[in-house]
């Protein structure tokens, strides 16, 4: 069974992410070891909290370069919530540079009448890459669970895999570019649709040719 490394950098919901992956048929391994990231068949980067501490913790554990190498190698990679945001170049939430793997910035929702910030609860995806492996066997407009005040704004609109609308604002809810996928919502808290998304990621890992594993 392929091993999925779940990155431990003191920023969040590692065990709930692992439980979701286990239900999806994976063997997740929590780690902050660059060697174990290199040896893993796929990587999941979860996260809850603020942008600056997240990138500081990653860099203090010398994980930035191993993550970049893993993504560049073609290894399947899934970012969740804050694990999506720190892939970008910068955030309005802080001053630290992000990992810069995806061009663009992280922005705060604008205040407007009738919406709450943070955006918390269930929202419906509009799939802008409907044939992405993440969305297989999902309804046309699935409901997922969100908790966030900031959203990613990629420079290249083609990396958007899904959007949501909150008030009058339509923003990116997921990105996908080759082996790199990341979502703003919490699949592990999103009932059947969320579990299906994790199962789709596990299936993607399982379907890789043996020559590409590792």
CB-CB contact of 82 with 45 (8 Å):
no
pLDDT (mean) for 103-117: 95
Q: Is it the case that residue 50 has pLDDT exceeding 70? A: yes
pLDDT tens digits, one per residue of 71-90: 999 999 999 999 999 999 99
Q: What is the mean pLDDT of residues 56-62?
A: 96
In what helix (H) or strand (E) does residue 120 lie, and over which residues does it extend? strand 119-124
Q: Contact at 8 Å (CB) between 77 and 42? A: yes
Containing structural domain, residue 194: 3-212
CATH number of the structural domain spanning residue 90: 3.40.50.880
Distance between CA atoms of residues 46 and 39, nearest Å: 19
- For the residues 128-133, what does the mean pLDDT come to? 95
3-class DSSP state of 19: helix
For the chain, how many structural domains are there in total?
1
Q: How far apart are the C-alpha atoms of 63 and 93, rounded to whole Å?
A: 22
Catalytic amino acids? 81, 186, 188
Q: Tens digits of per-residue pLDDT, 174-204? A: 999 999 999 999 999 999 999 999 999 999 9
Quote the pTM value.
0.95
- What is the C-alpha separation between 162 and 207, in angstroms, rounded? 23
Cis peptide before 108 (omega within 30 of 0): no
């Amino acid at each position: 069974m392929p091993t999925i490394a779940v990155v431990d950098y003191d920023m969040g919901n590692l065990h709930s992410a692992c439980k979701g992956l286990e239900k999806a048929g994976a063997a997740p391994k929590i780690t902050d070891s660059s060697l174990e990231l290199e040896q893993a068949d796929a990587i999941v980067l979860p996260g809850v909290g603020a942008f600056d501490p997240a990138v500081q913790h990653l860099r203090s554990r010398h994980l930035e370069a191993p993550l970049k190498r893993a993504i560049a190698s073609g290894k399947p990679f899934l970012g969740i919530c804050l694990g999506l945001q720190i892939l970008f170049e910068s955030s309005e939430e802080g001053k630290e540079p992000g990992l810069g793997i995806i061009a663009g910035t992280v922005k705060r929702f604008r205040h407007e009448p009738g919406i709450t910030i943070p955006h918390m609860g269930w929202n419906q995806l509009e799939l802008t890459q409907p044939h992405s492996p993440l969305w297989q066997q999902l309804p046309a407009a699935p409901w997922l669970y969100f908790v966030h005040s900031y959203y990613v704004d990629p420079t290249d609109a083609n990396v958007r895999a899904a959007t949501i609308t909150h008030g009058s604002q339509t923003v990116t809810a997921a990105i996908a570019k080759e082996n790199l996928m990341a979502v703003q919502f919490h699949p592990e808290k999103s009932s059947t649709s969320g579990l299906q998304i994790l199962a789709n990621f596990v299936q993607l890992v399982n379907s890789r040719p043996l020559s590409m594993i590792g």
